[in-house]
Structures are given as structure tokens and as C-alpha cells.
Chains A and B, each alone.
Chain A
Amino acid sequence: MNDHKLAKWLSKTANKQKLMLLVLFLLFGIVVSNHISMVQETNKASSLVESYNELQKELNSLTATNEQLQTENQELQQERENVINTVLEREGYDQLSEEISRIRILAGFTEVRGEGVIVTLNDKPDYDPLRDPVASIIHDGNIRHVVNLLINSGAAAVSINGIRVVNTSGIYCIGPTILCNKERMTPPYRISALGPASMMYNAVVSDQVINQLTIPEIGIIANVEKIDEVVIPPFNEADNFEQYINQLEVVKNED
């Protein structure tokens, strides 16, 4: 009796294994045939992938170099300021030293920090150009609108994605890319403003244009937060600004 049960059980197990093998081989067959049919496409795609990976490596290396050069540039600018201040103070030109510092602050050549707000604008999540209205992605006009709101509410310094807004800064688009100071910007757009935080905050949260953009049908993301110490970086061409004023002839020198 027991032998009979054992034989039955063994037979059942063998059937199960056969079934599993069948499924596995079926799957195996499908995957192999699919793989073979994709070989041609794969060759083309993999050559694209190879080129992409190589270019990506090159870009990574270039961005790393760029970061190093930027750091070096900031350090050199700081060193230049230190040398100028030391020399002037040692020679008794304290007033001139102070004046230079003040002018550099007003020009936007220095980092400034203090109370302020950060407004973040982003495209509608999962934006679909076939389904969503064109207003569901951030345009240059939206950024300008927020910057103007902040300026009109008392902002003393503004930056967009770490790019300082200075006298010559225009915010505009070329095709799908938004530029400021000739730098390309990509969403999300973080607009930082130093100034009266409550006034700027209220101006943004009560603005009809922004509120309209955030309705579900449009779906733009707009967040504003008050910050105890917002950091506004310096104009990144503070050592290379002559190109922006080379046509200006001074009429009346202050000295």
C-alpha cells in the first residue's frame, strides 16, 4: 500500500517537473527567438549606445573640469580682492578700498545672503505635448513674471538656478531652452531672492497669474518658501564684464 502511494507521489512530482521544464523551455524559446530577431536592430542601437556612452564620458570629464575651473576662478577673484584691499589699506587708501567693495556689491560681483524667499517653478509632471496645453510647461515669460513680482516687492538681489540677475541680464528663450546671462537653464527653476521675505512671499502666493498656472488643467508646479538665509551667488563673469560695457563712454566721472 505504502509502495503504491510512494510510486504515485513520485509520478506526480515527475509530471510537475516536466511541466515546469516545458514552461521554462517555452520561455527560453520565446526569448531566444526574440533576441535573434532583434540582433540587427541591436547592432545599430548598440553603436548608438556606444557613441552615447563615449560622449557622456567626455561630457562628464568636461563638466568636472568646468567645476574645477569655476572654483579656481572664484578663488582667484577672492585673492585679487584681498591683494587690492591689503595694498590699499597698507597705503592708507581705506576710503577707496571701501568704495571698491561697495561698487562691487552694487554691481552684483559678490555673494550676498540674508532673509528671503525661494520660488520653485516646474513643468507639469508627466507633461504630454499631445494631451496637455502649452501652458503646462514653464516659459521664459513665467520666470520673468516671478522675477518682476519679487523685484516689485522689494528684492535686493535675485538669482535663477544659481545665475545672478545683473543689469545686463535678459531672460529669454531660444527654441525650447531658456537662457539668462547666456547660460542655459533647465527645470525646475529655483528663483532665489534676498529681501523682505513676507512681502515677497505674499506677492507670489496671492498672484493671480501663478495661481491660474497651478490649476489641475494646467498643472504647473509653483512653490514658494521663506528662507532665513538665502544665498545669492555672484555674477559669474565678474572678472570678464568688459564685453558688456565696451560701448559705454563715461560722460561724467565721479572723481
Chain B
Amino acid sequence: MKINAMRSIAFTIICMILGILIALQMKNVNADNVTEQKLEELYNNIVEYSRKNEELSKRNAELYSYIELLEQDYASGNAYIETIIKERERAAVFAGLREVSNFGLTIRISAPPEVMVRDSVLRQFVNELRALGAQAISINDERMVAMSEIRASNQDIIINGKNYDRRNAFEIKAIIDPGKEAYFLDYLDKVRVSVQTDLSADQYDIAIQTVDNVTIPALKEDSIAFKIDLLLPSVQ
């Protein structure tokens, strides 16, 4: 009887030790999954979040000050209306509701008369310009906003609800930071080469040049590109 009890205890102890050792081994296996690359990725995330948080803290502090200023101005009868109108104007500029001008560039895309310009080429240049940091963009003087359509339909390309003949040249204009001129030109030239190579049968002629003063028209609030009727009733 005593021997049996001893054996049971021995079994239990051995099984426990075995369990602990297996758990340790599993931990080692998990440790193997941690690589230098994952560590670097994590570190990059930390740097990015630190930067974001610093920027957000600053923005929040500015918002506090702005609200305070508005309240103070209002209480003292000062120029709060001017502050509000100024803010409205900047929001309108961002929204694309104001005609704007400054240093920029033009991209002229044309093809032989028998070739119709593809909508995808226009979309590609617009996306690249946005990714590079262009501040205002137009195609054939149609202001590009977030929901502007660039869609081929038979012989036309429809932009902001208006038809443009695909057999004619298209002109993209963009306002850019003059300090980034070389960066823009270098990158857009690569896009030009890529388009001309990939679609060599179309024989596109693509001319990119900077312009001291480019003017980009505004888009009206009732433009199809804004779809204000869908946005207004649904605002929170």
C-alpha cells in the first residue's frame, strides 16, 4: 500500500516536471517567432505613434486656444466674425470651391487622331499628383475633387459630369510646392515613360512642364461631383 502511494507521488512529480519543461520548450518556440525584423517593425511603429501623439497634442492645444479666443472675442465684441469668415474661406479653398492660382505644372496628353485617350491614363496622373502632394488639380479646367469621376463612355471621357472628346488632347494642371519641383518632375517623368512603354500602341505624346502661374478653377456647390443631395440629409 505504502509502495503504491509512493509510486503515485513519484508519477505525479515526474509528470509535473515534464509539464514545466514542455511549457518552457513551447516558450522557446514562441521566442523563435520574434525576429530582428519584427522588432524593427515594432520600433518603427513606436516612432510613428510618438510623432502622431506629439502632433495631436499640439493640435488639441491649438484648438483649445482657438475656442478660447473665439469666446473672448465674442465677449469683448472684437473681430470674431473676421476670424470665422477667414476660417470659412480656408475650408472653401480646401473643398475646391474657390478659384486658385500659383506655381504649378501642366501635363498635356495627346494621341494620334485614330487613337482615343484612355481614362485610366488620366486617373493615373491624377493619383500620382495627389500622392506627390499637389494641392489643386484640374483636367481640361475641371477641378478635381475627392468624388470627381473620370470615366470613359464611348468616344468621350466624362469628368465632373461633362463630356470631353477622347480624340482631343487633355490638359492636366496642378499647383505644387515650388520647393518640390525637381521631385515632381523626376517622378512624373518616370510615370510618363511607364505609360508610353506599357501602352506603346497608343503612341501617346505626353508633355510635362512647370508654369510660373497656373490657375485652377473652382467647382460649384451644385456640381455632380459633390452630390450634395446625398450628403446633406445624412450629416450627423
Interface residues on B, range: 35 or more
Interface with B: A117-125, A130-138, A165-173, A213-221, which one?
Answer: A165-173
Q: Which of B71, B92, B150 contacts A83 (CB 8 A)?
A: B71
Point out the residues of chain A lying under 8 angstroms from B30, CB to CB: 49
A148–B123 CB distance below 8 A: yes
* B171 at the A interface (CB under 8 A): no
Q: Report whether A249 and B36 are in contact in the complex, using a CB–CB cutoff of 8 Å.
A: no
Asked whether any CB of chain A lies closer than 8 Å to the CB of B162, the reply is no
B164 within 8 A of A: no
Using CB atoms, name the residue of chain B closest to A157. Answer: B231
Binds A, one of B11-19, B107-115, B197-205: B11-19
Contact assessment for B49 and A63 in the assembled complex, using a CB-CB cutoff below 8 Å: yes
Q: Please tell me which one of the listed residues B21, B22, B97 contacts residue A106 in the complex, with CB atoms under 8 A apart.
A: B97
Q: For B132, give the chain A residue with the smallest CB separation.
A: A170
Contacting pair B91 A104 (CB below 8 A):
yes
* Chain A residues with CB under 8 A of B71: 83
Cβ–Cβ < 8 Å partners of B64 in chain A: 76
Task: Give the docked Cα–Cα distance between A88 and B25 (Å).
Answer: 69
Chain A contacts of B39 at CB under 8 A? 48, 51-52, 55
From residue B130, how far is it (CB to closest CB) to chain A in Å?
3
Q: Which of A87, A109, A171 has the most CB of B within 10 A?
A: A87
Q: Mark B47-69, 1 if CB is under 8 A from A, else 0.
A: 01110110111011011101100
Judged by a CB distance under 8 angstroms, whether A34 is at the interface is yes
Least Cβ–Cβ distance between A30 and chain B, in angstroms: 10
- A239 nearest CB across to chain B (Å): 6
Scan B15-44; emit 1 where CB is below 8 A from any A CB, else 0: 101100110110010111011101100110
A172 to B126, CA, bound (A): 12
Which residues in chain A, 122-153, are within 8 Å of chain B measured between CB atoms? 144, 148, 151-152
Question: Which of A24, A165, A255 sits near B11, CB closer than 8 Å?
Answer: A24
Q: A174–B230 Cα gap in the complex (Å)?
A: 34
Residues of A within 8 A of B85 (CB): 96, 255
Q: Is the CB of B34 within 8 A of A52?
A: yes
- How far does the Cβ of A87 sit from chain B's closest Cβ, in whole Å? 5
| Residue B168 interfacial (CB < 8 Å) | no
Distance to closest chain B CB from A254 (angstroms): 7
Residues of chain B with a CB closer than 8 A to A254's CB: 92, 97-98
- Which of the four size classes fits the interface of chain A? 35 or more
Given A32-B21, A84-B70, A88-B84, A59:B59 Cβ within 8 A = no
Q: A62-B49, A170-B127 are in contact. Are A248 and B231 (CB under 8 A)?
A: no
User: What's the minimum C-beta distance from B38 to chain A, rounded to whole angstroms?
Assistant: 7
Chain B contacts for A21, CB-based, 8 A? 10-11, 14
* CB of A76 to closest CB in B, whole Å: 4
Q: Chain B residues near A2: list those with CB within 8 A.
A: none
Whole-angstrom CA separation of A34 from B45 in the bound complex:
36
Q: Which of A63, A79, A84, A247 contacts B103 (CB under 8 A)?
A: A247
Query: A62–B50 contact, CB under 8 A?
Result: yes
A52-B38, A114-B233, A251-B98 given. 12 additional CB < 8 A pairs? Answer: A55-B43, A65-B49, A105-B228, A105-B235, A157-B147, A166-B94, A167-B145, A239-B62, A248-B135, A248-B136, A251-B99, A252-B218
- Chain B residues in the interface with A (C-beta under 8 A): 7, 10-11, 14-15, 17-18, 21-22, 24-25, 28, 30-32, 34-36, 38-39, 42-43, 45-46, 48-50, 52-53, 55-57, 59-60, 62-64, 66-67, 70-71, 74, 80-81, 84-85, 87-103, 123, 127-136, 144-151, 175-178, 215, 218, 221, 226-228, 230-236
Q: Which 4 A-B pairs have the closest CB atoms?
A: A170-B131, A170-B130, A114-B234, A45-B31
